[in-house]
Amino acid sequence: MRQSQRGQVDPFIVMDVMESARRLEAQGRLVIHMEVGQPATGAPRAAREALQAHLDLPLGYTVALGLPELRAGIARLYRDWYGLDLDPARVIVTPGSSGAFMLAFSALFDAGDRVALGEPGYPSYRQIMRAMSLQPVGIQTEAANRYQPVPDQIPEDVQGLMLASPGNPSGTMLGLDQYRGLLDRAAGAGVSVISDEIYHGLSYGGRCHSALEVSDDVYVINSFSKYFSMTGWRVGWMVVPEDHIRTIERIAQNMFICPPHASQIAALAALDAVEECEANLAVYAENRHLLLKALPQIGFSGIAPPDGAFYMYCDVSELTDNSLGFAAEILEKAGVAVTPGLDFDPVRGRSTLRFSYARSTQDIAEGIARLTRFMADR
């Protein structure tokens, strides 16, 4: 049977690394997971208890845009975090942030449209675009700009621009002035902007800023996966301009019917689990401190210190020009899973690695010890 050309997307390399790690674990090896951006903690207790209380009730279709009470709760989050008075009608609950990307790309762009995105960046942006017959256009960001795009890097011949703050894999953030410059330049060129803010709530020092603090004429995407430790629950959200709500609703009705009812119930309760989520953030902060100190000492340097998220992106050009093979060597010999930079930057990623510090501090300390031995023996 024939296959479509648009379906021939590149693999999500970190998932391949996870599978290689799983095979080692099946052989009895103990692997330290520093590859995937998945919190070691489970969903907040309140989320689990809320779902348990609803298990004997019908869990079926909800309205396509999500439970009204959850949309209102998310709108309150924007008041608490950013001081914004957000109309809950603009909040769209989605099947994970991935569902939000598909809805956003469907609503904003036509086949063949070109969408600019910073590199290094989250690889699935490119692959989802390609699967939807869009053309991703990489912007080679610079370490001097902390791996974030600047206004004069926006290509003239694009219809869209993807931003991410905190970024993946860099963990660096955009300030209000940076957002303003990018959004103003995009608006002047008629370029639609999507801001990925999935790591909001996870910052060290200054708080995360939302593109919505600068403009309402933007799509903002977020999720319960990271700050709320709910990766496997597959529930995210997006905020769209008022005149785009019905367009998104029609697409969502047909593409997904609705987000998972069970996950929405848990997500609503998770919004009140601030103390538990902040305790998780304290763990990430300690892990970040350990890695910022240790990695340069053992040979992994060139880090733009992350403002947020739970990643460190390292220039390892003095060690290798084959990050894929280097990551495989680290996994096999040290039992530490890390992500090759090729996942994030198809041009320069052969000489970079990403380290995730989303696990327990005990795991991170063990990972550092193993990496230290590996580098000493190399």
Instruction: Give the relative orientation of helices 323-334 and 361-377 as an angle to the nearest 10 degrees.
Output: 110
Four-point Cα dihedral 106, 101, 256, 17, nearest 10: 130
Tell me how far CA of residue 161 lies from CA of 89, 110, 124, in angstroms: 24, 14, 15
Q: Are strands 135-140 and 114-119 parallel, antiparallel or unpaired?
A: parallel
SS3 of 266-328: HHHHHCCCHHHHHHHHHHHHHHHHHHHHHHHHHCCECCCCCCECCEEEEECCCCCCCHHHHHH
Q: Are strands 236-239 and 91-94 parallel, antiparallel or unpaired?
A: antiparallel
**pLDDT at 54 (0 to 100):** 93
- Cβ–Cβ < 8 Å for 357, 313: no
Distance CA(42)–CA(334), nearest Å, equals 27
What CATH number is given for 45-272 in this structure? 3.40.640.10
**pLDDT at 9 (0 to 100):** 85
- Cβ–Cβ < 8 Å for 125, 162: yes
Domain regions of the chain by residue span: 13-42+275-377, 45-272
**pLDDT at 233 (0 to 100):** 96
Third-level CATH fold of 13-42+275-377: Aspartate Aminotransferase; domain 2 (3.40.640)
| Tokens encoding 91 | 């909040």
| Tokens encoding 341 | 């930079």
Q: What are the strands, taking DSSP E only, across the chain? A: 32-33, 91-94, 114-119, 135-140, 160-164, 192-196, 219-223, 236-239, 311-315, 336-337, 339-340, 352-356
**pLDDT at 149 (0 to 100):** 97
| Tokens encoding 333 | 């010999």
- Cβ–Cβ < 8 Å for 35, 21: yes
Distance CA(258)–CA(155), nearest Å, equals 36
pLDDT averaged over consecutive 10-residue blocks of the chain (378 residues)?
Answer: 91 88 93 93 96 92 97 98 98 97 98 97 95 97 94 97 97 97 98 98 95 98 98 97 98 97 98 97 97 94 89 94 95 96 93 96 97 93
Please, which residues have CB within 8 angstroms of residue 31's CB and are 6 or more apart in sequence?
21, 24, 25, 331, 335, 336, 337
Instruction: Give the relative orientation of helices 96-108 and 123-131 as an angle to the nearest 10 degrees.
Output: 50
Q: Are strands 339-340 and 336-337 parallel, antiparallel or unpaired?
A: unpaired
Distance CA(376)–CA(263), nearest Å, equals 46
| Tokens encoding 275 | 């103390």
Q: Answer whether 13-42+275-377 and 45-272 agree in fold.
A: yes
Task: Record the pTM.
Answer: 0.95
Distance CA(334)–CA(374), nearest Å, equals 6
Tell me how far CA of residue 31 lies from CA of 200, 287, 335, 366, in angstroms: 28, 18, 5, 10
Distance CA(269)–CA(29), nearest Å, equals 37
The conformational region for residue 83 under phi > 0 = left, psi -120 to 50 = alpha, else beta, is left
**Please, which residues bridge with residue 162 across strands?**
117, 194
Which of 80, 68, 130 has its CA nearest to residue 105? Answer: 130
**pLDDT at 196 (0 to 100):** 98
**pLDDT at 312 (0 to 100):** 95
